[in-house]
């Protein structure tokens, strides 16, 4: 019990003091989660839902659900809009539920390359009920463990360069966060900055290779790097693996059930001492795309 409580405290401190946000293993199949400029890449109406269960078997482990929708405002438009809704739960005490809208504008640099800038903004409800944990902590004497229930304003920014063969971007989807509730216990905003990129190699009629990378930085914490490699077979199934420093080795697959519908799954095997207390993390993704132009769905590999 003491070991569990010590680990849980570490997780809570990361969440509250460092403003850590959920990081998904299948980010390369749903980049709107990490960069609001991403919606400028795809010319289809795109709906994606993701459910992630972290550290299965570990009591109080984080779990996250998201829903994202984005689309050009009209056929072949350079302006796109989107909506992101999310719910984060850590243990029995901390939860955050919110939504924000996204707006992205792209500019054609040459026949094959575009530049895009994106913004997101919205509200979330943050709740931390430490007094309900039943732990021996004296929550009344330590201000770090006072109950919180407040609304937050969230603003973010993202930039991307992309073509049919590559994408590269830098973003901070929670660049500015401010509590607007009546609770006097304000949470310090420490934005997370992310650098992402990927390239598509055509290996013939039936095979494609797509390496991806994500670098995450937050002030006061070590830089975290996610290196990924995905292999597409006959335009039907993606198979891939990732290595995330200081965290895990991940295995991914995505199945294109139809031209409009894809189903993805990932399993994370922890490389830290926490692996002794749980049996890995699972993530499921469902994506639906609808064409806004004649000729049906055009495949988007990013």
Residue 297 domain flag: no
pLDDT in tens, 166-214: 999 999 999 999 888 655 556 667 899 999 999 999 999 899 999 999 9
- Is 295 domain-assigned? no
Is 299 a member of any domain? no
Alpha carbons 15 and 19: distance in angstroms, whole number = 5
Please list the ranges in the chain whose pLDDT falls under 50.
Answer: 1-19
- Phi-psi region for residue 33, left (φ > 0), alpha (ψ -120 to 50) or beta? alpha
Residue 73 lies in a domain: yes
Predicted local confidence at residue 15, as pLDDT? 38
> Is 94 among the domain residues?
yes
Give pTM, 2 decimals: 0.86
Tokens at residue 124, please?
């979330």
The reported pLDDT for the residue numbered 73 is 93
Task: Assess if residue 298 is contained within a domain.
Answer: no
The CATH number covering residue 54 comes to 2.40.160.40
DSSP codes joined into one string, 234-267? TTTEEEEEEEETTTEEEEEEEEE-SSSEEEEEEE
Q: What is the pLDDT of residue 48?
A: 97
**Number of domains observed in the structure of the chain:** 1
d(CA 195, CA 180): 29
Residue 253 domain-assigned (yes or no): yes
Residue 57 CA, chain-centre distance (Å), reads 23
Domain range for 13 is 2-290
- Does a structural domain hold residue 202? yes
């Amino acid at each position: 019990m003491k070991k569990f409580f010590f680990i849980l405290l570490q997780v809570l401190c990361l969440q509250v003091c460092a403003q850590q946000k959920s990081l998904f293993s299948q980010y390369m199949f749903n980049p709107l989660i990490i960069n609001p400029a991403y919606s400028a890449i795809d010319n289809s109406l795109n709906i994606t839902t993701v459910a992630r269960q972290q550290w299965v078997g570990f009591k109080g482990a984080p779990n996250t659900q998201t829903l994202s929708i984005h689309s050009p405002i009209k056929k072949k438009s350079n302006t796109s809009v989107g909506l992101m809704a999310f719910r984060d739960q850590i243990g029995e005490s901390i939860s955050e539920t919110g939504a924000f809208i996204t707006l992205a504008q792209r500019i054609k640099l040459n026949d094959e390359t575009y530049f895009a800038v994106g913004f997101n903004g919205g509200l979330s409800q943050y709740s931390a009920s430490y007094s309900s944990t039943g732990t021996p902590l004296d929550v009344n004497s330590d201000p770090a463990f006072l109950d919180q229930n407040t609304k937050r304003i969230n603003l973010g920014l993202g930039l991307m360069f992309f073509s049919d063969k590559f994408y590269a971007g830098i973003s901070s989807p929670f660049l500015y966060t401010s509590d607007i509730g009546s609770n006097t216990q304000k949470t310090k905003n420490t934005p997370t900055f992310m650098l992402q990129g990927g390239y598509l190699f055509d290996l013939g009629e039936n095979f494609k290779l797509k390496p991806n990378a994500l670098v995450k930085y937050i002030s006061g914490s070590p830089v975290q790097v996610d290196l990924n490699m995905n292999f597409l077979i006959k335009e039907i199934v993606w198979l891939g693996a990732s290595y995330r420093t200081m965290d895990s080795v991940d295995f991914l697959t995505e199945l294109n059930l139809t031209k409009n519908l894809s189903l993805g799954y990932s399993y994370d095997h922890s490389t830290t001492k926490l692996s002794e207390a749980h049996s890995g993390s699972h993530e499921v993704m469902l994506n639906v795309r609808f064409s806004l132009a004649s000729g049906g769905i055009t495949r988007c590999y990013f």
